Structures are given as C-alpha cells and as structure tokens.
C-alpha cells in the first residue's frame, strides 16, 4: 500500500509538472512593452515554486512509503513538532514570498503608480453587463460629462455609457465597442464600471485590471505589435459574463488617425 501511494503521488507530481514544462496550455504571445519583463518574472516564480513543489511531493511520497504499516506494530508515538525545523521552513517560505513580491512589484507599480507619459493616447474603458465600451476624448483632449440617469444600454455606444451630449466637452467624444490603438504609443487608460465589478483583461498585452463602479482607475500600457487581440472580462459579473468579450485592434498611427477622423465625421 505504501509503495502504491508513493507511485500515485509521484505520478501526479510528474504529470502536473510535465504540462508546465512542456507549456501545453500557456500564455498567448505577449505584445506589450512590459510583456517580456512580466513573463520573465512569471517564469522565475514558476521555476522556484516548481522546485519546491517537486521536492515537497517527492518527500511526501517517500515518507508515505518509508513509514508504511510493516505489520510489526509499535505503540503510536506522537510528536509535538520540531521548533528548529518549523522556524527554518517558515523563514524560507517568507523569504521566497517576500522576495518574489519585491522582484515583481516594480513592474506592477510602473503601470499603476507612475502616470502615463505626456503624449500618450487617452482611452476610457467602461465595463457593463455584458459589454465593453471605449471612449476617446476627441480634439479637446477632455472627456465630456456622463450621467447615470442617461445610461441606456440598449442604444449602445454614447447612450450606453450615459454621455451627456449637452456638455460641450462631450461633443467630440467618440464611443465605440471595439478598441482601436496606435502601435508603439502608450495608452492612458481610465477604467470605469457602471453596474458591478468587471475586470479588463487583454492576455496578449499581459494586462488585467478590475473596473469598479464609482472609481476611475488610471493605468497604462504600450502595445508593440499591430494585430487583433482579444479582451475578456476576468471577473465573474453575472449570467452573461462568459460572453463579455471584446477586441483590441492595434493599428499603425496612420490607420488610427484615419479611423478616429472617420468616427468623428460620422458623429
């Protein structure tokens, strides 16, 4: 029985480790300026935790076999633990977790606590049950006022986010259901939600941030390759959560200018 348990534990350990090493289910390619650093941090974390996991499960299997029932039953001996060992593994775990946090926090903080550079592209993202809307402030660079009383999701775009069209700053605001971004320009995002918490997740951009009702959350990232990338909602937000899907179209600066001009003209 002890040997069977050892084999089962080792087999589970081997199989689960294999899928990570073989990258059977892995990230899509990263196309943002921070993607390489984020992936590096992720890899370091996975390797360190993988080593700990394999060692711990290996020892678990070995102990299950070594201390199996051999039939020569002694009276049970209860251990009250080993203070030295407990101090050592608690300290090692703390060093590992705090160390990984310290190593990863500059990348995390750079997108949140440092403002976007001047000249970045402002886009407001609004999450609602169950769609994403994107607003561009237009030539004046200012977002017009929105009013919760004007929100009408069935009319889409401007009405869906409750844009107050009587506000002069709202006149040139463009609201769309597909996000357009110029390549190699930093995007200055403002994330909002009108009903419940949503999470704006663009796997290719290694970008994920909650959109919270009542908050305007500022973050930024820089797409570095032209292409179409999927947006998902990564926060269980209701029955239609699974279909809360969108697209980011990263295009050349020229195409972006043309698209924005066409949208302005269509207003």
- The answer to whether the CB of 199 falls within 8 A of the CB of 235 is yes
- Letters for 210-249 (x = contact with Cu ion by CB under 5 A, - = none) are -----------------------x---x------x-----
**Based on CB atoms, which residue is closest to Cu ion, 50 or 238?**
238
**Which among 80, 150, 145, 130 is positioned nearest to 240, based on CA atoms?**
130
- What ranges make up the beta strands (E) of the chain? 121-128, 131-136, 174-176, 179-182, 187-193, 198-202, 207-211, 217-221, 227-233, 245-251
Least distance (Å) between residue 192 CB and Cu ion: 12
**Based on CB atoms, which residue is closest to Cu ion, 225 or 234?**
234
**Based on CB atoms, which residue is closest to Cu ion, 138 or 162?**
162
# residues near Cu ion by CB under 5 A: 4
- The answer to whether the CB of 264 falls within 8 A of the CB of 196 is no
By DSSP bridging, strand 227-233 and strand 198-202 are antiparallel
**Based on CB atoms, which residue is closest to Cu ion, 132 or 256?**
132
Least distance (Å) between residue 191 CB and Cu ion: 12
Least distance (Å) between residue 198 CB and Cu ion: 3
Least distance (Å) between residue 25 CB and Cu ion: 23
How far is Cα 212 from Cα 180, in angstroms, rounded to an integer? 22
Q: Is 131 in the site for Cu ion (CB under 5 A)?
A: no
- The answer to whether the CB of 176 falls within 8 A of the CB of 157 is yes
Q: Using CB under 5 A, which residues numbered 171 to 200 contact Cu ion? A: 198
- The answer to whether the CB of 246 falls within 8 A of the CB of 211 is no
- Letters for 38-77 (x = contact with Cu ion by CB under 5 A, - = none) are ----------------------------------------
**Based on CB atoms, which residue is closest to Cu ion, 99 or 240?**
240
- The answer to whether the CB of 250 falls within 8 A of the CB of 227 is yes
Least distance (Å) between residue 175 CB and Cu ion: 18
Least distance (Å) between residue 246 CB and Cu ion: 10
Least distance (Å) between residue 136 CB and Cu ion: 22
Interior/surface letters 80-91, b for 16+ CB within 10 angstroms, e for the rest: eeeeeeeeeeee
**Based on CB atoms, which residue is closest to Cu ion, 34 or 244?**
244
How far is Cα 128 from Cα 134, in angstroms, rounded to an integer? 12
How far is Cα 179 from Cα 162, in angstroms, rounded to an integer? 18
**Based on CB atoms, which residue is closest to Cu ion, 141 or 240?**
240
**Which among 144, 183, 136 is positioned nearest to 166, based on CA atoms?**
144
Interface residues toward Cu ion, by CB under 5 A: 198, 233, 237, 244
């Amino acid at each position: 029985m002890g040997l069977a348990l050892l084999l089962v534990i080792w087999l589970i350990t081997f199989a689960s480790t294999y899928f990570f090493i073989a990258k059977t289910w892995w990230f899509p390619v990263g196309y943002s300026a921070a993607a390489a650093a984020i992936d590096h941090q992720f890899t370091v974390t996975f390797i360190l935790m993988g080593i700990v996991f394999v060692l711990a499960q290996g020892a678990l299997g070995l102990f299950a076999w070594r201390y199996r029932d051999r039939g020569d039953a002694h009276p049970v001996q209860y251990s009250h633990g080993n203070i030295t060992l407990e101090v050592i593994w608690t300290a090692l775990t703390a060093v590992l977790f705090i160390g990984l946090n310290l190593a990863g926090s500059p990348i995390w903080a750079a997108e949140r606590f440092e403002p976007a550079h001047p000249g970045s592209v402002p886009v407001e993202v609004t999450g609602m049950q169950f769609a994403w809307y994107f607003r561009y402030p237009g030539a004046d660079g200012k977002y017009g006022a929105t009013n919760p009383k004007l929100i009408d999701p069935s009319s889409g775009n401007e009405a869906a986010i409750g844009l107050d069209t009587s506000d002069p700053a709202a006149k040139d605001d463009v609201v769309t259901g597909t996000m357009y971004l110029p390549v190699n320009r930093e995007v200055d995002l403002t994330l909002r939600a009108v009903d419940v918490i949503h999470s704006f997740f663009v796997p290719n951009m290694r970008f994920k941030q909650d959109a919270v009702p009542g908050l305007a959350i500022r973050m930024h990232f820089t797409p570095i390759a032209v292409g179409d990338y999927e947006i998902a909602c990564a926060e269980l937000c209701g029955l239609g959560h699974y279909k809360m899907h969108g697209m980011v179209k990263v295009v050349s600066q020229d195409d972006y200018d043309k698209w924005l001009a066409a949208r302005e003209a269509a207003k």
